[in-house]
């Protein structure tokens, strides 16, 4: 079974995180919502509080196939400055597992040098922070083991691309039909 760690910080865009979590779980993936905030109870960027499955300090990233980093402010800034987030990104990226970021979160990958010569997109106005990337304005990009997406309006497409990468395009199409997604 595909294992996914989805990070959640104080100030994360709730819908980017929860839409993706919901769709990936519907696809049968073993997804853990991982709080980086020192408490399982975390409040997102629009004052919606969720209860994470576990804390980042307790999560074993060596067992994950995918790391998902939602955006939002100040969630993205909180993740960018977090040592264990940086360690998890490096671990998954270096072992050719998927690192996926949406909205402003691809800027973390740009800053870390993970987008060099890769097609990538980001929330409008942050393109200059995708250091080394071949920036475009597609809703979602998959290049190697990195998937990026532009924001809340592309969250479903982002989740379906993750499914396509790990379970194939037929499974992604099946999930799109089940959720009545029409892009």
Instruction: Let me know if 103 is a catalytic residue.
Output: yes
Q: What does the DSSP assignment read for 93-107?
A: HHTT-EEEEETTTHH
Q: How far apart are CA 16 and CA 135, in angstroms?
A: 21
Write down the catalytic residue from 15, 100, 103, 121. Answer: 103
Contacts (Cβ under 8 Å, ≥6 apart) of 27: 163, 167, 171, 175
| Spatial contact of 102 and 16, defined as CB atoms under 8 Å apart | yes
Q: Which residue has the tokens 């309006």?
A: 153
Residues with a catalytic annotation lie at: 103
């Amino acid at each position: 079974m595909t294992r996914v760690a989805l990070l959640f910080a104080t100030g994360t865009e709730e819908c980017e995180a929860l839409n993706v979590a919901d769709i990936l779980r519907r696809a049968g993936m073993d997804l853990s919502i991982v709080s980086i905030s020192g408490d399982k109870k975390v409040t997102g960027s629009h004052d919606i509080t969720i209860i994470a499955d576990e804390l980042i300090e307790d999560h074993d990233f060596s067992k994950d196939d995918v790391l998902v980093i939602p955006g939002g402010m100040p969630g993205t800034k909180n993740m960018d400055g977090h040592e264990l987030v940086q360690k998890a990104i490096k671990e998954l990226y270096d072992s050719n597992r998927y690192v996926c970021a949406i909205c402003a979160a691809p800027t973390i990958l740009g800053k870390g040098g993970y987008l060099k010569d890769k097609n990538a997109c980001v929330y409008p106005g942050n393109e200059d922070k995708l250091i080394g990337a071949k920036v475009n304005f597609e809703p979602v990009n998959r290049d190697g083991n990195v998937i990026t997406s532009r924001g809340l309006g592309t969250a479903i497409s982002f989740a379906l691309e993750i499914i396509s990468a790990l379970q194939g395009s037929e499974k992604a199409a099946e999930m799109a039909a089940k959720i009545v997604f029409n892009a």
